[in-house]
Each structure stands twice: as C-alpha cells, then as structure tokens.
Structure 1
Amino acid sequence: MRSMHPSRHPHYPITVQTCEDHNQNSRRRPLVPYDDEPPTLFRVDDPFCLRKAIVPMFHADDTDILTGMGTAFALDPWGNFLSADHVTDFLRRGVTEQSGEIAIPDGAHALALLGMGVIFGEVGIPPEALVQMTGTRTPMIPVDDPMNFTGRTTTRPYDITFLSSATTPSERLLQNLPIRRYPTSPRVGDLVVAVGYPKIELARGPAPSLPTSITEGMFAAYGVVSNLHPRGRDRANPTPVFEVEANWPSGMSGGPVFNAAGEVIGLVSRSIAPADEDALGTAWATWLAASVPPTEPAAISWPESIDAGDLYFRNAWAAVRLDPWRLEGFPTTEQEATALARNLGHDFRPRLVSQRLGTEIYSVCS
C-alpha cells in the first residue's frame, strides 16, 4: 500500500534554515517548487543560504579535470563535512587498514565546491572555494561472511563518511545545518525532504587559470518514510537506514535528509527509480542516530565540534579568562588553545567553548 503523495502530507512544505540564519532570525522560507515542477524533484533557488551548507563533491584527476561525485554538507565551520561512503570510497582504495581515521592517499583528490552565490556562464573559481579533503573516517561493522576462510573478521562500511579538510574554509562561503544526531527517530508516514546536486556539471582544463564551466543544479525532493531498518536492510547492506517513497536521482547521494522540523536526520544513500515516471521510486537514507549512536562505544564518533545539547551550537577550543570574562581566538584544537593561553597569560586557560553559530554568543563547556 502506497502512502499519500508528499504534497498532500499535513506537514508539507518543510521549512529549512541554516544555523546561522536561524540564530540571526532571518526570514524563513519553505522548500517549495516554482512554476510547474513537482515536489518530488525540483530546483532550489537559494544561492546565499543552503548552498553554503550543502556542497557538490568532485574527484580531480592528475590533469585537474573535475568529475562530479555527489553531495556533502558542512558539519561545522572548521572543515568537517559529512557525505555517503559510496561517494568517496575511492579514497580508501589501496589502504589496508580502513577502520578509524585515514589520511587520503596521494593521487586521490576529493574536493568540495563551496557556495559562491549566483553563477552565470563561465567563471574562474577562486582557490578558496575549492576545498580539498585530506582525511576520511567511515564506521565499519563486522559481518558474517560464509565465504571467508581466512579467519580474519570481515567488515563492511556503513554508508556514511566524515571528511576533513586541511584548511579552515572561509566563513563567508560556508554555513551549517542543524544536525539531529540522536532520536527522535523517523517514523513510518513522516514527511522528509532531501537536497543535493543531481545535475551539476563542472569541468576545468589543465591550466589552473582557465575559466571553469559550471551548470548549477541544486535540487530538493520530497518523500514519505515507508519503513525502518535500524540494523540494515540485509547482510550485504548493514547500514541503518529508513526507507522512503521518493525520487532521489544519482548525484544527490550524500545530501542531507530533513525531517518536518527542518533538522538533518539522515543522508541520501541509495535509490531505485520507479518503473512509471509518474510514480515514486524507493529510496534509502542513512539513519544518522542509528549509524553513529552517541551513547554506545563506536569505532567512529561524531566530531567534538558537534554540540550534543543544541543543534545550533558548535564546539571549539579557545583561550578563556573567567574573571573578568574574556575570550580570545577560536582554534579547533586544544594544543592551539593552550599555546594561545600561554602567550596571553593573565589567568587565561584553554577551554572547550560552544558558540551559537552566526552570533557572538559563547558558553564554556563543562
């Protein structure tokens, strides 16, 4: 039995904001199609907000030719991103130890194109808008393999990967999304919407100074949750997912999936197109709370920057003096904050600090 069409769902449409826009009380705008596009897949005209949080991912070969791989989204302002593992699994090829964090091997180039606003025709991409990933972490789970006679544990990756860049992106090119990293869980019948880049085309010639031809293509697609698979679909697909009646075409993989409250609860994993183009297909979203549970030991955990207590805050280190209150710097590591506090003296200490994104409001973490 098929669910109701997304446009007739009582929670349609869904309003999505970045953390920065939410905290600055910017005007809220629901995700709705323009003209005659159906809500099951439509272009998103939002160059200065969502496009700074949701980014297309590319593979660069040795001649700087870029090939679109899928979608990712920013986890924090300091160069951490989240995507689907199958979008960037080529980064692990040739690496024998695949659990934990690995440095991306030489010759494997994954880049995110940060939000530059509106693009017309051919433009030269500023270097700061292309962020190269230098590290990746993917949760791996032991699985039963009847064909494994080696005695070694067989593992498979969850379809989720944490990516990190070597440099902190420019704050004017990057915003963040509210991440629901723990339940409430999705329920059958819930309305969700995915956002990604199924139609972006980008290619650059060998000379870095050549302009880059870009065809812009951020799209959103509504769907209704039809099933829950907290332990994966089967032995070959162990990723915890929720099943959705939706049309999520190739290229949206790794893009965020929002609940009716506008919170990210999953990311686009797999999909099967419908036999009838007027019908809805079947899609699966990696279930964030089930894939990286916050209360259980795991080989892969959320970055320290993700605030467990508030979706709109992020954590980082700073040099702090409590009396009188003063905060200096906002580096990403305790070592940097320790060095800064030592240089400042006068009762400064390195402390983990939480910032309400888009504001100058901070709190010292306990």
Structure 2
Amino acid sequence: MEELVPFEIATCEMTESSQWGSPLAPDPERPFHPFRIQDPFGLRNAVVPVFRQDTNGQLFGFGTAFNIDQFGTFLTAHHVIDFSGENGTSRPVLLLSMHAIVIGSVAIPNDCFVPVTGYQKVMMDSDDPIGALRGSQERKVAVDLAVMQTSPLGSQVRPPQTVSVCINGWRPRVGDILLAVGYPELDFSELSADSQKMLLSEGMYGAYGRIVDVHLNGVGTANPSPVIEVETDWPPGMSGGPVFNRAGDVVGIVSRSIRAEGDLPGRGYAVDLGRAYEVQPFAPSLDAPGWQVCWGLFLEDEFEPFSVHVSEEAAVSAGNLLRQPHRIVKIANKIGTKDYMLI
C-alpha cells in the first residue's frame, strides 16, 4: 500500500499551530493497527474513557466518549452506556483530566470521575406488524449514538477541551483514510487504582483505516445506523470514540468492529454523523466544524461576548448576577475564542 501520511489533530481550544502536537504516526509496518497517542494536554482532554459505576462505587471500563461543546455535552455510541437503564443499579461516569501537572504517582481526585446526569438517544418503531395492530408496538434504538450531559465540574478537574465535529458538507468516499481514537485497554473487569492512573496518563490509542463501503441504511435490521465500513483494527474499548477525517474533524463514532486476525484485515463500522440527521435535535449546539450555537452575554457597549451559555435561561441567570447593563443574544461562537456570528 502507499505510504500513509499521518494526521495532525488539534482541539478547538488549541488555536495556535505552536500548541499542536506531533503528527499522529502509526507503526509503518502495520499502519492500520492501534498505536499509542501521547497528547496529555490536547486530545486527552477532549476524548475520555467511559466507566460503569455501580452503587457501591466500583468502576468497570466500558468505552470512549468525546466532548463537543463548552457546556458539558459528550457523544458516545449508545451501546457503550445502554446498561444505565438497569433499574438504577449503575451509572455512566467519565474520567476527565486533573487540573494540575503531576510528576510521579499521585491519587486521582474524585472530581475527575464525572457522572453523566442524562442522555438522549434516537428511537424508531420496531418491525412488529402484530404489535402495531394491537397498538403495543415496541420501539428500538435507531442510531448507535447517545448525547450525554455531565454534572457540574469540581475544582480539581481540568475543564475538557473540545473536538471539531462535522455534521454537514463532508461525505465518505471509498479509499479515504480515517483515524479513530479511544481507549482499547479498557475491559469489563473492575479497574484498580493503577489502571485508572494508566488510562489518565497514557491509555489513549489511535487506529487508521481505509473506507471500503458506505451503508446508508445500516448493515441489517439489528444495526440500522448509517455507517461507514473501514478496513482497520479497532479494539473493543474504542467503541464510542471519535473518527476523524484528514481535516481534523470528527465525522463518525466507532460503533463496532471485527478484529484483524492473521493475514486477514479487520473491519470497523462507524456511525456516519453526516447522515445521522437525528443527532442535531439532541445536540443543538452543533454548528459548522469548530463552532457552537449558544447564547452570548454582552456588557453594554461591548462588542465581544463577556461569556457564552448553553441556553437563554442560563445567560439570563448569569446576567442577573452582574448587576450592570447587558444584553443577551443568540450567536454562533467559534469554540475557544471570542469570535461569533449573529443567528
């Protein structure tokens, strides 16, 4: 195969090219296999491990999620967190970075384990004509995607950075190269304190792949999500992780995979965000890549937003605390900057 040109991925907050890390280079002998990513101040702050936490506090690794705006909104694959409806016996928890630079080994602050307070999923009627006649037709998940909201962050956790998400204007083509990022060393066993530290510091991996097919209606009734089929080797813990195109935008979510074996290449299936049209009603902040729809709080006679907020109500509350003249405007804001456009 021709030589693979490594991607350069920056978070939205990394506004200067000098802040970007090195190109994400795989093993040249095995370019479509997982490789370790060392980016503790960039991608590690935007792409995070997902745990299941039981009522007794035990943590079990389940997959990957990523941050899409500055308001605590994360995306993952639905199957990563579908345990959370089990009679309230467990909940999804994200492992965010510490608000510190650490030398040596220290305990991870509890603040870094951030609970998911709620999530939305896309549903559809199941193919059950008898149930439809009886008026009791069941519904099923239509897209392997979940939009999660997190609880407010504590003082010891670093605010997450944001990846650029593209939901319009990009279409997958056979032969294109994509890059998935996630935490393949997660498994379903209970995580020890040492394994938690490893995930926080050096558990992130990437895996390149080549598009071999595009399935607009999924790959069967059990998996109706519009998916991109990729020749690659995505380990299970990467489920829910972002899939980047060469421009550095997230265009998919790792949904499922078949591991490479011997001389046989593996297969990965990523939810196609450009055709998962149902995602935007649940994630209304999504706009052009690197931008977020929000409400700007402007001080009187100021032309840059003093702050940005997820809703008009949140902006009103923040304005009331200022006790000075201000205005509130719905805007599209370039994430990590004061740049904006009126909506």
**Which category describes the TM-score, using the shorter chain as reference length?**
0.7 to 0.9
Matched residue, 1:139: 122
Residue type of the partner of 1:185?
A: R
2: distance between equivalents of 1:363 and 1:242? Answer: 33
Is 1:65–1:203's contact at 8 Å kept on the other side of the alignment? yes
2: distance between equivalents of 1:264 and 1:200? Answer: 22
2: distance between equivalents of 1:240 and 1:70? Answer: 20
Find out whether 1:153 has 2:137 as its counterpart. yes
Is 1:195–1:257's contact at 8 Å kept on the other side of the alignment? yes
1: distance between equivalents of 2:215 and 2:324? Answer: 54
Q: Per-residue deviation at 1:21? A: 1.4
Residue type of the partner of 1:249?
A: P
1:176 alignment partner, one of 143, 162, 166 = 162
1:248-305 CA-to-partner distances (Å, cap 9, x unmatched) read 111100000111212110010011123x3343211100111111x2xxxx48624232
1:233 alignment partner, one of 219, 237, 240 = 219
2: distance between equivalents of 1:283 and 1:227? Answer: 11
1:130 alignment partner, one of 97, 103, 113 = 113
1: distance between equivalents of 2:105 and 2:336? Answer: 31
TM-score (norm 2): 0.86
Deviates more, 1:48-57 or 1:21-30: 21-30
2: distance between equivalents of 1:212 and 1:196? Answer: 15
Find out whether 1:349 has 2:342 as its counterpart. no
Find out whether 1:20 has 2:13 as its counterpart. yes
- Structure 2 residues not aligned, in runs of 5+: none
Find out whether 1:251 has 2:228 as its counterpart. no
Matched residue, 1:164: 149
2: distance between equivalents of 1:190 and 1:253? Answer: 21
Q: Per-residue deviation at 1:179? A: 0.3
After superposition, the Cα gap between the structure-2 partners of 1:240 and 1:93, relative to the gap in structure 1 and judged at 3 Å, is: farther
1: distance between equivalents of 2:127 and 2:20? Answer: 51
Report the 3-state secondary structure (helix = DSSP H, G, I; strand = E; otherwise coil) of the residue aligned with 1:20.
Answer: coil
Q: Per-residue deviation at 1:44? A: 1.0
Is 1:77–1:168's contact at 8 Å kept on the other side of the alignment? no
- Structure 1 residues not aligned, in runs of 5+: 95-105
Aligned ranges for residues 278-293 of structure 1 at < 5 Å?
278-291=263-276, 293=277
1:271 alignment partner, one of 250, 254, 257 = 257
2: distance between equivalents of 1:194 and 1:211? Answer: 25
After superposition, the Cα gap between the structure-2 partners of 1:169 and 1:352, relative to the gap in structure 1 and judged at 3 Å, is: farther
Is 2:21–2:39's contact at 8 Å kept on the other side of the alignment? no
Aligned ranges for residues 2-17 of structure 1 at < 5 Å?
5=1, 8=2, 12-17=5-10
Find out whether 1:114 has 2:99 as its counterpart. no
Is 1:342–1:348's contact at 8 Å kept on the other side of the alignment? no
Report the 3-state secondary structure (helix = DSSP H, G, I; strand = E; otherwise coil) of the residue aligned with 2:13.
Answer: helix
1: distance between equivalents of 2:109 and 2:77? Answer: 26
Matched residue, 2:64: 71
Is 1:129–1:173's contact at 8 Å kept on the other side of the alignment? no
Q: Per-residue deviation at 1:63? A: 2.0
Identity of aligned residues (%): 33
Report the 3-state secondary structure (helix = DSSP H, G, I; strand = E; otherwise coil) of the residue aligned with 2:274.
Answer: helix
1:296-332 CA-to-partner distances (Å, cap 9, x unmatched) read xx486242322x23x2222332322463436433333
2: distance between equivalents of 1:316 and 1:127? Answer: 30
Q: Per-residue deviation at 1:353? A: 3.5
1: distance between equivalents of 2:73 and 2:275? Answer: 20
Find out whether 1:41 has 2:7 as its counterpart. no
2: distance between equivalents of 1:129 and 1:339? Answer: 27
Matched residue, 1:325: 303
Residue type of the partner of 2:26?
A: P
2:25 alignment partner, one of 7, 28, 32 = 32
Q: Per-residue deviation at 1:31? A: 1.1
Residue type of the partner of 2:342?
A: C
Q: Per-residue deviation at 1:24? A: 6.1
Q: Per-residue deviation at 1:187? A: 0.8
Residue type of the partner of 1:362?
A: D
Residue type of the partner of 2:90?
A: A
Residue type of the partner of 1:163?
A: M
Matched residue, 1:215: 198
Is 2:120–2:282's contact at 8 Å kept on the other side of the alignment? no
Q: CA RMSD in A?
A: 2.9
Q: Per-residue deviation at 1:34? A: 6.0
1: distance between equivalents of 2:22 and 2:294? Answer: 30
TM-score (norm 1): 0.81
Q: Per-residue deviation at 1:93? A: 3.8
Aligned ranges for residues 53-72 of structure 1 at < 5 Å?
53-72=46-65
2: distance between equivalents of 1:213 and 1:284? Answer: 28
Aligned residues: 335
